[in-house]
């Protein structure tokens, strides 16, 4: 009967183990649906609409469950399914952050309405950062945990767009991408939102062109 006990031992038995297994499942699902490789929370969030410079931008936040999944794997789990109006708020915030980022990147005028929207979202209270095994996790102790989670993103956007972090805001050169990133390289030589996706794609196409 020893094989039987071995099987049992391999199953997650404690709540913590079950939670860890569920979190790993969520991360795998999120990695399949989203692009999670941008280093900065607010810019990573803007990449939930991808291929922005292409003819058909791709909406990855297609329903409230996906919004919850994205928030959860980025350390700001609201603990419940967002409503449809909350999804609309989340997308409005995302697009305001993106437009502001493009304006900063290309020295264009900033829309006061976008700035007001981000500032208002940032005023949501009830989010407390905690150090976790995998970085920062936010404890959301508000009545509206979705607004609190969006507030975390909005405050990160303000830190990035307001110049609190050293670097230059730019848009990706990848074909169809135009994703935002913060170039912290010496001499501002970075061209891609992420080396593992757009940078890699470019490297491969250059190699094909040479072959
Ligand atoms: Zn890119």
Q: Is the alpha carbon torsion for 136, 163, 30, 142 positive or negative?
A: positive
pLDDT of residue 201: 85
Q: How far apart are CA 124 and CA 150, in angstroms?
A: 8
Is the separation of the CB atoms in 164 and 153 below 8 Å?
no
22-168 CATH: 1.10.3300
Say how many Å lie between the CA of residue 114 and the centre of ligand 1: 23
Q: Collect residues with CB below 5 Å from ion ligand 1.
A: 172, 174, 177, 179, 193, 198
- Residue 124: CB atoms within 10 Å: 20
Say how many Å lie between the CA of residue 1 and the centre of ligand 1: 54
pLDDT in tens, the chain (211 residues): 455 555 555 555 788 888 888 888 989 999 999 999 999 999 999 999 999 999 999 999 999 999 999 999 999 999 999 999 999 999 999 999 999 999 999 999 999 999 999 999 999 999 999 999 888 999 999 899 999 999 999 999 999 999 988 899 999 999 999 999 999 999 989 999 998 889 988 888 888 888 7
Say how many Å lie between the CA of residue 18 and the centre of ligand 1: 35
pLDDT of residue 69: 97
Say how many Å lie between the CA of residue 177 and the centre of ligand 1: 5
Say how many Å lie between the CA of residue 42 and the centre of ligand 1: 15
Say how many Å lie between the CA of residue 211 and the centre of ligand 1: 24
Backbone angles phi, psi at 59, to 5 degrees: -85, 115
Q: Domain coordinates of the chain in residue numbers?
A: 22-168
pLDDT of residue 4: 52
Say how many Å lie between the CA of residue 193 and the centre of ligand 1: 4
Say how many Å lie between the CA of residue 200 and the centre of ligand 1: 10
Is the separation of the CB atoms in 173 and 195 below 8 Å?
no
pLDDT of residue 99: 98
Beta bridge partners of 129: 138
Say how many Å lie between the CA of residue 28 and the centre of ligand 1: 21
pLDDT of residue 1: 47
pLDDT of residue 178: 97
């Amino acid at each position: 009967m020893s094989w039987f006990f071995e099987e049992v031992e391999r199953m997650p038995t404690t709540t913590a183990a079950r939670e860890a297994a569920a979190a790993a499942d969520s991360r795998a699902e999120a990695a399949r649906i989203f692009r999670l490789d941008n280093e900065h929370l607010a810019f990573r969030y803007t990449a939930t609409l991808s291929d922005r410079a292409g003819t058909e931008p791709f909406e990855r936040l297609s329903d409230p469950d996906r919004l919850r999944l994205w928030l959860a794997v980025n350390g700001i789990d609201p603990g419940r399914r967002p409503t449809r109006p909350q999804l609309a708020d989340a997308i409005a915030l995302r697009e305001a952050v993106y437009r502001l980022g493009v304006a900063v990147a290309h020295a264009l005028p900033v829309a006061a309405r976008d700035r007001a929207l981000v500032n208002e979202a940032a005023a949501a209270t009830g989010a407390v950062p905690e150090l976790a095994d995998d970085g920062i996790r936010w404890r959301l102790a508000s009545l509206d945990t979705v607004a609190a989670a969006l507030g975390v993103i909005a405050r990160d956007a303000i830190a990035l767009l307001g110049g609190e972090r050293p670097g230059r805001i730019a848009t990706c050169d990848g074909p169809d991408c135009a994703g935002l990133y913060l170039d912290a390289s010496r001499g501002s030589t970075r061209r891609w939102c992420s080396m593992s996706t757009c940078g890699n794609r470019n490297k491969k196409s250059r190699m094909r062109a040479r072959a």
